Chain A
Amino acid sequence: MTVTVNDAISTIVNGKRVITKKPELLAPAGTLEKLKIAVHYGADAVYIGGQEYGLRSNAGNFTFEEMKEGVEFAKQYGAKIYVTTNIYAHNENIDGLEDYLRGLEEAGVAGIIVADPLIIETCRKVAPNVEVHLSTQQSLSNWRAVQYWKEEGLHRVVLARETTGEEMRKIKEKVDIEIETFIHGAMCIAYSGRCVLSNHMTARDSNRGGCCQSCRWDYDLYSLEENGEQALFSEEDAPFAMSPKDLRLVESLPSMIEMGIDSLKIEGRMKSIHYIATVVSVYRKVIDSYCADPESFEFKQEWLDELEKCANRPAAPAFFEGMPSADEQLFGVHGKKASHDFVGLVLDYDNETGMVTLQQRNFFRPGDEVEFFGPEIEGFTQKVETIWDEKGNELDAARHPLQVVRFKVEQPVYPNNMMRKELA
């Protein structure tokens, strides 16, 4: 999609155009640790799930206490916390909703992400200080429906993943409401909310958090003919599949920023801290770089390379440029290994001795080439030399998860910087 300069979001400083309306970078977090990493690495807002009413029964979900701690932590960085409350509720879920929403308000969350009008209306009644954002579960894909939700008083709408860039631009032009849209991560192949495969196949309610990702399974395709069923595939073909490649719109950020999209959302409450740190820092850099100087902005290959280090599926722009092609689906493969392993989290660094104290997250040993990255540093690589444990014993390798080890690092690093290693 072409980038159309939009003067409404920029100003001229010393003869140079700068973007004054920077979109919010919104990251997922399944745990308090992930929340802190997301904020530390540059997210403007983080969405989390609570104990109820969210769509990931299997994700780490926050208690009210943890939410409060997350909100307090985020506040130090000027960041906001939203809570996904986007189930389609059944009658039995109505009891307890008011208390739950009051709990969210007390915890200080800035907004909730909602699909069911039951929750929208109840929130406005009992927790009026909490913003209401319409979830992508409503599959919102046209401006008249957006106009409807604006008139209903919603603060923000999340568009359907099926919305194209041109459609987003028109929606933004036609309706004055905050627009949030996905930029990165795994996606439903179905219109969100319009899939009950899990209900039928595993008796788990997909629209209440029980989705078992049946759409990522393989199936055999037949036709029903008068003389019986006929296979529509041959032995050498992969089976029928509908697994989409993951969304990656990092190259489209300039056009999204110029459109005035308000919030750019990364998927993945189940993802690791390494994934969140990597993805958030790349998008942070691209947004900041474009907004500071759009005229001389150039997209760097290293940003794509960096995203590859944590990608566990091939990536594609999905609907942003129009209908995705067959190449944007996976046939016969179910993903790939990320090119790098997350091997350590920096706890401390001694400037005088050059010694890092690091928590092991994956196996590494002396001689390994490793790479450090984090918001305070330019990424760099070096070879690991002697490794010691906390008591000063020399180790042949860092073998144990969460083990605290020390070794020399050539350049300063900071707590929560991460160390990764390329896979052979």
Chain B
Amino acid sequence: MKKPELLVTPHRVEDLLPLSEAGADAFVVGEQRYGLRLAGEFNREDVKKAVELAHSKGKKLYVAVNAIFHNDKAEELDDYIAFVQDAGADAIIFGDPAVLMAARSVAPNMPLHWSTETTATNYFTCNYWGKRGAVRAVLSRELSMEAVIEITEQAEVAIEVQVHGMTCMFQSKRPLLGHYFEYQGKVMEIENRKEAKNMLLHDPERNNKYPIFEDENGTHIMSPNDICIIDELGELVEAGVDSFKVDGILHSPEYLVEVTRLYRQAINLCAENPEEYEDTKEEWLERIEAIQPAHRPLDTGFFFKETVY
């Protein structure tokens, strides 16, 4: 069976080699000026180095340009996209149509991946962006396994699905942490804490803890659990999903390398010997559990959870 790409999110340039050795096929990098919720910050020099490293190992490198842009940054896009093309990146990830407009004018041959996270929820719309120039759609995390499979079957573009890590639940343009500290009369607090990205919102009623951080794009609230479906890859591989993403945001580089290694092995087994994969899948989950930080419970996201409305 076709093996889906294993896509991971390095924190630093020096992570690319260990992640390549662990079995990653492709990387997402970028800078927060243009990209959302990246595991690490890659300036232009870093992007160039990352492209070289990735290509030297036969891997692909995608640059995230998926922020929600206002006029000021929308006008910088030509320059940034031209840079990304010159750097030799393999694709640009976008959500805002301004990126599509800029790419059409300065980099018409650059492959585009459509990713808005929460709003990629049906196959028609994935194909719509395909007709407008995207070669891949990154699906919303709030979809069931059944919906993901149906989209994959109906899609005329490649499909990317996040299989591991935390997901974004909320983005506000406002600096909500800074505002709370200001309300408390502790204006310096946010400056001191900004880089650490170690804050949590407690929701006592649900006994959940949501990571929350602030950056140039506003305030982001993340899921209380990490998705982990290393033991449920069978149907997705069979359906022909093109890319599995492991998001390492707010995890250590070492953790990401280990998780990448385990998914690589699980994907290989699942594609080459599905029966053995089925028989051993509990063991894959146990291996992840063994390295999972205590404050990040694992779950299966929305793959097996019904939502109503």
Q: Which residues of A contact B (CB under 8 A)?
A: 57, 88-94, 115-118, 121-122, 137, 139, 141-145, 147-149, 160, 162-164, 167, 170-171, 189-191, 193-197, 199-201, 203-205, 207-210, 215, 217, 219-225, 229, 232-234, 237-238, 240-242, 244, 319, 323-326, 329, 331
B180 in the interface (beta carbon within 8 A): yes
Pick 19 A–B contacts, CB within 8 A, sort by A: A89-B125, A90-B143, A91-B122, A144-B102, A148-B97, A163-B70, A167-B70, A170-B71, A190-B172, A193-B116, A196-B142, A197-B169, A199-B142, A203-B308, A217-B203, A223-B199, A233-B184, A324-B174, A326-B179
Decide: A191 and B173 in contact? CB cutoff 8 A.
Answer: yes
Query: CB distance B203 to A201 under 8 Å?
Result: yes
- Which residues of B (122-173) have their CB < 8 Å from a CB of A? 122-125, 128-129, 140-143, 147, 150-151, 154, 168-173
Nearest-CB distance from A354 to chain B (Å)? 51
* Cβ-defined partner of B70 (8 Å) among A142, A204, A220: A142
A91-B147 in contact (CB<8A): yes
Q: Are B121 and A207 in contact (CB under 8 A)?
A: yes
User: Chain B residue with minimal CB distance to A160?
Assistant: B68
Contact B124 A94 (CB under 8 A): yes
Cβ of A291 to closest chain B Cβ, rounded Å: 27
B223, CB-defined interface residue at 8 Å = yes
Given contacts A190-B170, A224-B198, A232-B189, contact A203 B306 (CB under 8 A): yes
* CB pair A196 B200 closer than 8 Å: no
Q: Which residues of A contact B202 (CB under 8 A)?
A: 219-222
Pairwise interchain contact B96-A196, C-beta atoms closer than 8 A = no
Complex interface: chain A residues within 8 A of B70 (CB)? 141-142, 162-164, 167
Task: Collect the chain B residues with CB atoms within 8 Å of residue A326's CB.
Answer: 178-180, 182-183
Q: Which of A90, A148, A193, A323 contacts B118 (CB 8 A)?
A: A193
B112: shortest Cβ distance to chain A, in Å?
13
Asked if B229 is at the interface (CB within 8 A of a chain A CB), the reply is no
- How far is B117's CA from A196's CA once the two chains are assembled, in angstroms? 10
How many B residues face the partner with a CB closer than 8 A?
A: 76
Asked if B2 is an interface residue, CB under 8 A from chain A, the answer is no
B201 x A116 contact (CB < 8 A):
no
How far is A88 from B120 in the complex, measured between Cα atoms in Å? 8
Q: Give the Cβ gap from A59 to chain B, nearest Cβ, in Å.
A: 13
Closest chain B CB from A101 CB (angstroms): 14
The reply to whether B119 and A207 contact each other, CB–CB distance below 8 Å, is yes
Provide the residues of chain A in CB contact with B219, threshold 8 Å. Answer: 242
C-alpha gap A237/B124 in the complex (Å): 48
Q: In this complex, what residue of A is CB-closest to B206?
A: A201
B1 within 8 A of A: no
B269 touches A (CB below 8 Å): no
Query: With A and B bound together, what is the CA distance between A92 and B102 in angstroms?
Result: 34
Q: Are B119 and A115 in contact (CB under 8 A)?
A: yes
The 8 closest A-B pairs by CB, nearest first: A210-B309, A142-B74, A148-B97, A144-B98, A326-B179, A208-B309, A219-B201, A326-B182
> Given the complex, which residues of B lie within 8 Å of A162, measured CB to CB?
68, 70, 173
B77, B129, B174, B223: the one contacting A200 at CB < 8 Å is: B223
Given A139-B68, A145-B69, A207-B118, A195 contacting B171 (CB threshold 8 A): yes
* Assembled-state Cα–Cα distance A234/B180 (Å): 12
- Residues of chain A within 8 A of B182, CB atoms compared: 325-326
Residues of B within 8 Å of A209, CB to CB, are 309
Interface residue B40 (Cβ < 8 Å from any Cβ of A): no
A199 touching B307, Cβ below 8 Å: yes
Measured between beta carbons, the chain A residues less than 8 angstroms from B204 are 220
- Docked-complex contact B125 and A117, CB < 8 angstroms: yes
Can you name 15 extra interface pairs (CB under 8 A) apart from A144-B75, A148-B98, A191-B218?
A88-B121, A91-B147, A91-B154, A94-B122, A141-B69, A191-B68, A191-B171, A195-B118, A196-B170, A199-B169, A201-B206, A203-B308, A217-B203, A221-B202, A222-B199
In the complex, which residue of chain B has the Cβ closest to the Cβ of A169?
A: B71
Contacts of A141 in B (CB 8 A): 68-71
CB pair A142–B98 under 8 Å, yes or no, is yes
Q: How far is the CA of A288 from the CA of B198 in the complex (A)?
A: 52
Neighbour of A203 across the interface among B154, B209, B305, CB < 8 A? B305
List B contacts of A220 (CB < 8 A). Answer: 201-202, 204
Instruction: State the Cβ distance, B233 to closest chain A Cβ, in Å.
Output: 21
A219 to B202, CA, bound (A): 6
- Which residue of the partner chain, among A149, A224, A238, A329, contacts B179 with CB atoms under 8 Å? A329
Query: Is B196 part of the binding interface, using a Cβ–Cβ cutoff of 8 Å?
Result: yes
A237 touches B184 (CB 8 A): yes
Nearest residue, chain B, Cβ from A226:
B198
CB <8 Å contact, B142 and A143: no
* Residues of chain B within 8 A of A94, CB atoms compared: 122, 124
Residues of B within 8 A of A225 (CB): 198
The answer on a CB contact under 8 Å between A144 and B77 is: yes
B177 — which chain A residues lie within 8 A by C-beta? 221
B224 within 8 A of A: yes
Q: A195-B118, A221-B200 are in contact. Are A147 and B101 (CB under 8 A)?
A: yes
